[in-house]
């Protein structure tokens, strides 16, 4: 398949000890990383986008390549909110400890395993299901080699504290044994009574916990990263007096929830943050910082924490000339989306709901242009959409001799503009986005001259859900037996 990812996974990004670097552009919340052989493997939250949990591989922690997903079919016990995967490797086996919403229940920690990091993965079901919810699992061995599970009780969802628990786990990873013990919880003002996303590393006489605190997501987030240490895994734990060790600056905000990793004798932390310019619209992007162990037994990050990496050069082009969709396309976890590719044409079955059936690609910065071509033979209403979720999107779509802009906000549909156009074998649709949210649609019947359809920019600030980013892609509206046909998708970053 002819797909170009200029600066996406193959960006020329230098790793410097004096600053963190953007290494996973786009929406990659809660990233987790492990070394397997001579490669590093990572995953991240996918929430309600499917397939679930992207898999990425790298030789150097900087240039990452997509390698499919953990789940291409939903686990039988879970239905949505696929959050916070932790990828782990031991004794020739790869384990994914993950969080999902249990059907008819609450958040649970589940586990899946594979013989190789690219899968296929076998799901083993839920392992921890507390009444308030269980989330953010991390496996860790104590100094005697006993295997423990570390996790957060999701008390904040019911306005209660969020203790971090540890409990011994059997070697088969099928059950917890003994009694759980609380390690620590939010006690400092900056933590906002909410601690989560704990990951650990052992060095010298100490276990070190990297943890995130305060509000993770959305425009009002105030996330930060703290460090705690203990000589025994079960404590007592001591928080660093200089916390938070990573916090916001002029370029990035709300940094946290990641995993420490060693590379060639140096130590790094892979985590997420919002870029201030693209903010919630591009989502929580993957960052990398180097850290050191200090002579007094703590962890120190470089002062220049949040130096920016530009994402304006990112370009994605997909001419649909493969046998199936490439790994960067996802869809709603609540829809059974049906698509196929033949002769450089994407066929997308319609869905008879307001949101239609859609596919989405990550966005990367505040300003960009997207385009796709619609074939007139489409029986469904075919278009290009900026997507938040099933209840919130904006689309430019074509149906027979009409083109129109439709806004779906809180599941209420509004036609913003509609116009008759000459019948043409192919209609080229274009979307220009500024400031992450200001949208201008245009179209062309010859691929050269474009006509703007609206009088003023459309405000898309309502689009992103609290835990996700805006995505762009084709959309097909109509009855279940109708299809839409597309060619030549593009997404091109513009200067900020």
Q: What is the pLDDT of residue 6?
A: 36
Q: What is the pLDDT of residue 249?
A: 85
Q: What is the pLDDT of residue 443?
A: 97
Q: What is the pLDDT of residue 10?
A: 32
Task: Please enumerate in sequence order all residues whose Cβ is within 8 A of that of 493, keeping only pairs 6 or more positions apart, or say none.
Answer: 311, 312, 313, 314, 315, 364, 365, 367, 368
What's the pTM value of the predicted model, to 2 decimals? 0.94
Helix or strand holding residue 252 (H, E): strand 252-263
Contact, 442 vs 314, CB < 8 A?
A: no
- β-pairing, 315-318 vs 3-6, is antiparallel
Phi, psi for 282 (deg, rounded to 5): -95, -15
CA distances from 346 to 341, 429, 489 (A): 5, 15, 10
Q: What is the pLDDT of residue 309?
A: 52
Residue matched to tokens 């046909």: 485
pLDDT (tens, 9 = 90+) of the chain, 496 residues, equals 334 333 333 332 333 333 578 999 999 999 999 999 999 999 999 999 999 999 999 999 999 999 999 999 999 999 999 999 999 999 999 999 999 999 999 999 999 999 999 999 999 999 999 999 999 999 999 999 999 999 999 999 999 999 999 999 999 999 999 999 999 999 999 999 999 999 999 999 999 999 999 999 999 999 999 999 999 999 999 999 999 999 998 899 999 999 999 999 999 999 999 999 999 999 999 999 999 999 999 999 976 543 445 555 689 999 999 999 999 999 999 999 999 999 999 999 999 999 999 999 999 999 999 999 999 999 999 999 999 999 999 999 999 899 999 999 999 999 999 999 998 999 999 999 999 999 999 999 999 999 999 999 999 999 999 999 999 999 999 999 999 999 999 999 986 6
């Amino acid at each position: 398949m002819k797909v170009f990812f200029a600066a996406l996974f193959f960006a020329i990004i230098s790793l410097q000890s004096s600053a963190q670097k953007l290494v996973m552009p786009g929406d990659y919340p809660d990233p987790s990383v492990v070394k397997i052989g001579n490669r590093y493997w990572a995953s991240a939250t996918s929430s309600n986008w499917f397939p679930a949990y992207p898999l990425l591989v790298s030789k150097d922690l900087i240039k990452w390549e997509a390698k499919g997903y953990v789940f291409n079919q939903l686990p039988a016990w879970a239905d949505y909110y696929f959050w916070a995967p932790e990828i782990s490797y031991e004794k020739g086996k790869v384990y994914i400890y993950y969080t999902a919403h249990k059907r008819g229940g609450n958040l649970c920690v589940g586990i899946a395993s594979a013989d190789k990091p690219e899968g296929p993965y076998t799901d083993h079901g839920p392992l921890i299901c507390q009444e308030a919810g269980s989330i953010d699992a991390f496996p860790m061995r104590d100094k005697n080699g006993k295997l423990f599970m570390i996790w957060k009780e999701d008390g904040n969802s019911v306005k209660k504290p969020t203790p971090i628990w540890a409990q011994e786990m059997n070697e088969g990873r099928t059950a917890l044994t003994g009694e759980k013990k609380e390690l620590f919880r939010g006690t400092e003002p900056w933590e906002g009574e909410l601690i989560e996303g704990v990951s650990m590393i052992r060095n010298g006489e100490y276990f070190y916990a990297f943890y995130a605190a305060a509000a993770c997501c959305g425009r009002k987030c105030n996330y930060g990263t703290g460090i705690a240490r203990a000589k025994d895994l079960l404590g007592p734990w001591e928080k660093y007096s200089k916390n938070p060790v990573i916090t916001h600056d002029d370029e990035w905000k709300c940094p946290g929830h990641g995993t420490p990793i060693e590379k060639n004798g140096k130590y790094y932390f892979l985590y997420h943050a919002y870029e201030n310019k693209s903010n919630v619209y591009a989502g929580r992007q993957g960052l990398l910082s180097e850290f050191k162990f200090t002579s007094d037994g703590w962890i120190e990050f470089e002062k220049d924490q949040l130096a920016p990496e530009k994402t304006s050069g990112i370009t994605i082009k997909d001419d649909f000339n493969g046998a199936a969709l490439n790994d960067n396309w996802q869809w709603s976890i609540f829809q059974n989306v049906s698509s196929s590719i033949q002769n450089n044409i994407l066929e997308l079955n319609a869905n008879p709901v307001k949101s239609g059936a859609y596919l989405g690609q990550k966005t990367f910065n505040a300003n960009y242009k997207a385009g796709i071509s619609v074939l007139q033979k489409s029986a469904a209403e075919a278009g290009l959409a900026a997507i938040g979720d099933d209840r919130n999107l904006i689309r430019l779509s074509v149906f027979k001799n009409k083109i129109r802009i439709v806004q779906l906000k809180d599941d209420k549909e509004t036609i913003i503009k509609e116009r008759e156009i000459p019948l043409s074998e192919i209609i080229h649709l274009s979307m220009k986005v500024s400031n992450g949210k200001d949208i201008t649609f245009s179209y062309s019947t010859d691929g050269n001259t474009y006509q703007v359809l609206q009088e003023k920019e459309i405000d898309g600030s309502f689009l992103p859900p609290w835990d996700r980013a805006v995505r762009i892609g084709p959309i097909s509206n109509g009855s279940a037996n109708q299809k839409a046909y597309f060619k030549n998708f593009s997404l091109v970053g513009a200067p900020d």
